[in-house]
Chains A and B, each alone.
Chain A
Amino acid sequence: MALIEARNLRKTYGALRAVHDVSFAVERGEVVAFLGPNGAGKTTTMKLLSGYLRADAGAASIAGHDVAAAPIEAKRHLGYSPEGAPAYGEMTVREFLRFAADLRGLAEPAERVRATLELCRLTDVAAQNIDTLSKGYRMRVGFAQAVIHDPAALILDEPTDGLDPNQKHEVRRILKEMASRKAVIVSTHLLEEVGELCTRVIVIAKGELRCDEPRDRFLARGPDLNQVFRALTA
């Protein structure tokens, strides 16, 4: 069973066709790089998969649960970090993660929070208000709330955006650690992440799927990935 599945997803905003007939399935152990230029429909597709947006047509499912028909079940199995990793800035990191744990009804929430703080290297700033954190830490907090319940499916919208090389390395390390047990989709503008992190590549442009193939086949398209990207998304 695919842990993340999109079947003929469509979404329009007025006259704009944001996502058109997008279908794919992500299995356990796969880390999918979701590539595309700005405005290609990546974020909209992720919002459709997360259940935040409703599709005009088609369906999305998480761990076999349709996000429209059984949203609560689907969301219980999903970890999702929206673009920019929004969080309640007036809360401390620990309070925020405790809220996420309580809201999900997790058993032993305090232990969950402790383990997640450790996993995401956030223990040192646990007592700090999220508003006062650097962007790197804020992104990690967004990531932490997405993994606190150890979900089967993980969808991360640009989780390394704006991070310095060390911070990027840190996020990728954590992702690699847990990748074998999950189905992961990571949207990114950074083509180097394809080689470093992902097992498969999906390219989307103008709301349409342009490419869906294993990483090695994608990398074999040419030595200059920027050129490959431009050709696919033209």
Chain B
Amino acid sequence: MSTPAEATPSARPAGRAAFVAIVRREFAGYFRTPLAYVFLAVFNAFAMSLAFFVGNLYEAGVANLDRFFLYHPWLWAFLAPAAGARLWAEERRQGTLELLLTWPVTVWQAALGKFLAAWLFLACALLVTLPIAFTVGYLGSPDWGVIASGYVGSLLCAGACLGLAALASAVTRSQVIAFVTGFLACFLLVLLGYGVFDGLLVGALPDETVDAVRRLGLWRNLEPFTLGIFDVPAAVYFLSLAFAGLGLSTLVVDRR
């Protein structure tokens, strides 16, 4: 180590370097264990099974994927907390949080880097399902814009669930507790305006209130995307949840 102590040389602006390093480490971290591949396989298997066996995608005989995207809130409610549980809980358990926060990086940079890496990983899970789109394209003449819109909506929905998962992960050192808490929070958002739960509210509450409750749910906000509509309020809803979760998790981690 020949460099004078005062030099502490830096090739790039410290903030950007730290951010990029964190995104790369976190993203690569998912693939260090077989768990990531299991995750991708499970996501793909469930996405296909729900679309074909529950949504009757094939029997419907229509060249679109709305029956495929219909079940994505359920998938993300389960799998985004699974992918996000490690974000902070693992740092606390290993003791590396102290290390990370004494390196030249702000909590915001670390939190955003971790979040983006996890979101990229969830995007990979979506990419793995692309063969279903190509299959529909082979069998019929789908509107590719509608399919692309569905993928964008699903990715935004994943970000919203991941925000809640990040918050759950920030408050505990146990990945199991982080997963269960994150799942319950996402599950609640799936229920709002969905099926049986929605049926319980109809009649018991004024129509405007029921509609307001539906608007708070994941499914209601994903629906326009599956129909090819880039719904700005829905996008704002998903991004608000994502960044609220990200922001609150950052505040929790920053309380030292």
Name A residues whose Cβ lies closer than 8 Å to a Cβ of B: 28, 47, 50-54, 63, 71-73, 75-78, 80, 82, 84, 86-91, 99-100, 102-109, 115-116, 119, 145, 147, 149-152, 178, 181-182
Contacts and interface: CB of A to CB of B under 8 A. Distances in A.
14 contacts: A51-B102, A71-B106, A72-B105, A75-B103, A78-B102, A88-B29, A91-B32, A103-B18, A104-B17, A107-B9, A107-B10, A116-B1, A145-B99, A149-B8
Which label, helix, strand, loop or mixed, suits the secondary structure of the B interface? loop
Nearest to A101: B21
Nearest to A182: B5
Contacts of B103: 75, 100, 103-104
B15 A72 contact: yes
Contact of B1 (A76, A104, A115): A115
Interface of B: 1, 3-18, 20-22, 24-25, 29, 32-33, 94-96, 98-99, 101-106, 256
Contacts of B16: 105
Given A82-B102, A150-B5, A102 B14 contact: no
A104 B10 contact: yes
A106 B98 contact: no
B14 A72 contact: yes
A63 B5 CA distance: 11
Given A147-B1, A150-B7, A151-B5, A82 B95 contact: yes
Nearest to B25: A99
B98 A152 contact: no
Contacts of A99: 21, 25
Given A53-B256, A77-B8, A152-B6, A104 B104 contact: yes
Given A115-B1, A150-B8, A182-B5, A105 B33 contact: no
B96 A106 contact: no
A105 B102 contact: no
A115 B7 CA distance: 16
A102 to B, nearest CB: 4
Given A72-B106, A86-B95, A103-B104, 11 more contacts: A52-B102, A72-B15, A76-B8, A86-B99, A87-B94, A90-B33, A105-B11, A115-B1, A145-B99, A150-B4, A152-B6
A39 B6 CA distance: 34
Contacts of B18: 103-105
Nearest to A154: B5
B101 A52 contact: yes
Contacts of B98: 47, 52, 82, 86
A87 B13 contact: no
A38 to B, nearest CB: 18
A109 B99 CA distance: 19
Contacts of A100: 103
B222 to A, nearest CB: 34
A36 to B, nearest CB: 19
Contacts of B20: 102
Contacts of B3: 150
B185 to A, nearest CB: 27
Given A99-B25, A152-B5, A75 B102 contact: yes
Contacts of A72: 14-15, 104-106
Contacts of B6: 63, 152
Contact of B29 (A47, A75, A84, A90): A90
Q: Which of A80, A82, A116, A149 has the most CB of B within 10 A?
A: A149
B256 A54 contact: yes
A84 B95 CA distance: 9
A107 B1 CA distance: 13
Q: Which of A51, A80, A106, A119 has the most CB of B within 10 A?
A: A106
Contacts of A71: 106
A101 to B, nearest CB: 9
Nearest 3 pairs of A and B residues by beta carbon: A105-B17, A86-B95, A102-B21
Contact of A102 (B7, B13, B17, B101): B17
A71 B33 CA distance: 34
Contacts of A54: 256
